Structure 1
């Protein structure tokens, strides 16, 4: 990882951790619910999605503090999806980020409600910015986040993923799952940065294509790491996709071709980025990190 990216990520992760903790601790709700929300929200992680939002702001010359609430909202949505994804009714996972999954600690009912709490609180955070954000910008961001996180986006991708279990999926069906279950929230994060920066529609559309390539590369790399990753670095069991007979890029194309797909998506993303915004070192370095990551 480039030194400049390492510094940027460390600074933004620290800012996000503090902001997320403060936001949840202000909630007036039953203590067990707040504890369950905090347990998963503050369990670490790279904060990739909100960092893409903040990196987009940085490249577009906008004060990063202006995007703090939007970044927190994206991470809350992501965390809620992980809590629900780990439930017995879905992936039935025991560990996430090196610790017991939420339902293993707080029970299934509380885990469901903690996810619900994070989902709805995300929109409260998004609509109460600490910096001056124009009302129509807030409305646009609410529209974007609800669209990409909802049934036409991430939730729809999760449904397709469940329906595809123990089936041999076509390449088109697998791409649909990857585009919506994983890529859509990364796309949304970048688009939220573009909205806050009040960019042109053309630039917003180009950044969307950039982010979609990044999101697909991210998920294909996850498929690869589930096959050959280090459990200690991943913080969860490897080989679960194969054990659950899930169709992945590795099972469809083999390990080397899957790696080639990652490299291809990253190159297409970087080519787009060079055309969109030539001075975009942080986003360029983040895309390189997508290929090199081991967790």
Structure 2
């Protein structure tokens, strides 16, 4: 069955749907000013849309409604985009390119970029609350999940840890995994957990999809580290060899390229085992996991 699944078509359809919803969610500012333009510049710049697709895929796998899950899927992309805008700032990773074009602060300045990221963080939650027809208990849990994923124990805390790993090429592997679990993994976990919650999944199923999210999240970051070493700007869409220049600890540095790829492959196989109980609904999740482990950009 997995061999018959057309992942490229599946991703393309969902990317187009999510892009349309994002366009509707953040309309052009009716008043002159750079804030909405800055938000839209990064939000509508393309990308894999992996987090909203995971949310929608898990929700569908458990028998939930895409219509109910869509506002949360859109919010997840807003949150992800906010982290990218902040991550690229000169005070953080100081990157010049994202998704193949100049980073937000290169176009709008550091102040507006910072505020655009903040605005997307806040607006993502507002969007969920104003647009979701989910039962109140499920909606509350989704909001709690999103806040946890972005906060001190999620992406923001992970970014702090990432800053602390600069000029520390000798950091321990456990430190690196902990940082990545928050900076990269937390939003991926939130994506699959939100989809499961909105579909009314039982706690056992939520726990299993959460583990799936954790494992593909770590694999995603491992492959990111490998690509930073092996890819060009055109292939990657962002500045390569950045981690080496900042003397960061990475999986590529600590494990070597071959062992890093092996670690990612093991995580992908383990992630797939976590969702096998979903039956036919697991097929796209298997394919997405394989894509995460073998991606080239």
- What is the TM-score of this pair, normalised by structure 2? 0.95
Against the structure 1 CA distance between its residues 29 and 121, is the aligned structure 2 distance closer, same or farther, given a 3 Å change threshold? Answer: farther
Cα root mean square deviation, aligned: 1.5
Measure how far apart 1:156 and its partner are.
Answer: 0.7
1 CA distance for matches of 2:90 and 2:197?
Answer: 37
Residues 2 and 285 in structure 1, CA contact (< 8 A), matched pair in contact too: no
Residues 5 and 284 in structure 2, CA contact (< 8 A), matched pair in contact too: no
Residues 230 and 294 in structure 1, CA contact (< 8 A), matched pair in contact too: no
Aligned residue for 2:130, secondary structure, equals coil
Against the structure 1 CA distance between its residues 195 and 29, is the aligned structure 2 distance closer, same or farther, given a 3 Å change threshold? Answer: farther
1 CA distance for matches of 2:255 and 2:148?
Answer: 31
Aligned residue for 2:34, secondary structure, equals helix
Partner of 2:89: 87
Task: Check if 1:228 corresponds to 2:237.
Answer: no
Partner of 2:215: 213
Moved more, 228-237 or 10-19: 228-237
Partner of 2:109: 107
- How many pairs are equivalent? 293
| Per-residue Cα deviation, 1:173-210 (whole angstroms, up to 9, x for no partner) | 00011111001100000000010011111110111111
Task: Check if 1:180 corresponds to 2:182.
Answer: yes
1 CA distance for matches of 2:94 and 2:232?
Answer: 20
2 CA distance for matches of 1:123 and 1:30?
Answer: 25
Measure how far apart 1:109 and its partner are.
Answer: 0.5
Partner of 2:292: 290
Unaligned runs of 5+ in 1: none
Unaligned runs of 5+ in 2: none
Partner of 1:158: 159
Aligned residue for 1:180, secondary structure, equals helix
| Per-residue Cα deviation, 1:259-293 (whole angstroms, up to 9, x for no partner) | 0100010010011221x312211111101111221
1 CA distance for matches of 2:201 and 2:28?
Answer: 33
1 CA distance for matches of 2:252 and 2:145?
Answer: 32
1 CA distance for matches of 2:4 and 2:106?
Answer: 37
Residues 101 and 237 in structure 2, CA contact (< 8 A), matched pair in contact too: yes
Aligned residue for 1:93, secondary structure, equals coil
1 CA distance for matches of 2:212 and 2:23?
Answer: 31
Aligned residue for 1:128, secondary structure, equals helix
Residues 84 and 111 in structure 1, CA contact (< 8 A), matched pair in contact too: yes
Measure how far apart 1:2 and its partner are.
Answer: 6.9
